[in-house]
Amino acid sequence: MRDFGAGLGYLFKGQRWVARHGRWWAFGMIPALITLVGYVAVMTALIVWSGDIADWATPFADGWGSPWQGLVRDAVSVAVVGSGGLLALVTFTAVTLLVGQPFYESLCEKVDESEGSAPAKPEVPLWRELLVSARDSLAVLLRVAAFGVVLFLCGFIPVVGQTVVPAIGICVSGYFLTVELSAVALQRRGFAQKERLRMLRRRLPLAVGFGAALVLLFLVPFLTVLAMPGAVAGATLLARDLAPVEEPGEEDGGTDEDDAPGTPDAPGTPDGQDTPDAFRKS
């Protein structure tokens, strides 16, 4: 339960971070705005052409009389628009992250720098980052679809299907949303998708606590645009907890003094002078 609360806390920390860095908040909204405009255009076209799609999909109803032909084709039109809206809702975050890869890479880097102990920038071409992100997003969407089918079937169970199943659905969606949002920060730390999934499964309440609240928030597309920069910032802060970056010298506790002249290999040092005892013994 404490991890669940900590995950929720990272959501608020991320929003506070972008509130303190207004320029980065505006910068981080650009990919979500681009994606939103694209989705609105597609949904508008789908609504306009839904009647023609229904006519094409139901040739068997051409000879039907009123009102049955109209009822069937209206139902198909509603199903087409509804399916398109559901697909847009499910894929919006993944597409936004793909479109915004360069933007969110810069945002993650800035969050890391502001908090200290930032990882080194990966030496990977942009085209390869986009390819890896697209592949990973597709893998996540397939997992979400598999869970969705199971939860859909469980939804027919009386009482449980109307109470427990929706709550589980939000938690599952929240977990995978955290996987998507933390991908940029964890990729910068050198973790492949399988390692990221394993890492987040070990801290499942933390991942669900962060993502489940965002799932509810992201049900409103406009709020998705406003909250996306803070969500990425919060996911970066969460990634710092999961995979902290050690400062140089932290691992062995050494300092630059360990490499100071005085060893036998140090140039300009007379043999046998200022040499540690470990080197004097044969």
SS3 call for 111 = helix
- Is 243 in contact with 186 (CB distance < 8 Å)? yes
CA angle (97, 86, 99) in 5-degree steps: 15
Closest CA to 72 of 54, 84, 85: 54
- Is 224 in contact with 177 (CB distance < 8 Å)? no
Report cis status (omega within 30 of 0) of the bond before 166: no
The larger pLDDT score, comparing residue 120 to residue 238, is at 238
pTM metric for this prediction:
0.72
Q: Which residues contact 47 (CB under 8 A, 6 or more apart)?
A: 81
Report cis status (omega within 30 of 0) of the bond before 221: no
Going by pLDDT thresholds of 50, 70 and 90, the confidence category of residue 126 is low
Q: Where are the domains of the chain?
A: 2-242
Alpha helices in 189-276 (DSSP H): 193-202, 204-217, 221-242
Q: Does pLDDT of 160 surpass 60?
A: yes
Closest CA to 5 of 205, 164, 226, 161: 205
Lowest mean pLDDT among 55-64, 67-76, 120-129: 120-129
Q: Does pLDDT of 280 surpass 50?
A: no
Lowest mean pLDDT among 34-43, 175-184, 259-268: 259-268
pLDDT tens, 217-276? 887 767 888 899 999 999 999 999 888 766 555 444 444 444 444 444 444 444 443 434
pLDDT tens, 104-117? 888 998 998 888 87
Residue 230 is predicted with a pLDDT of: 93
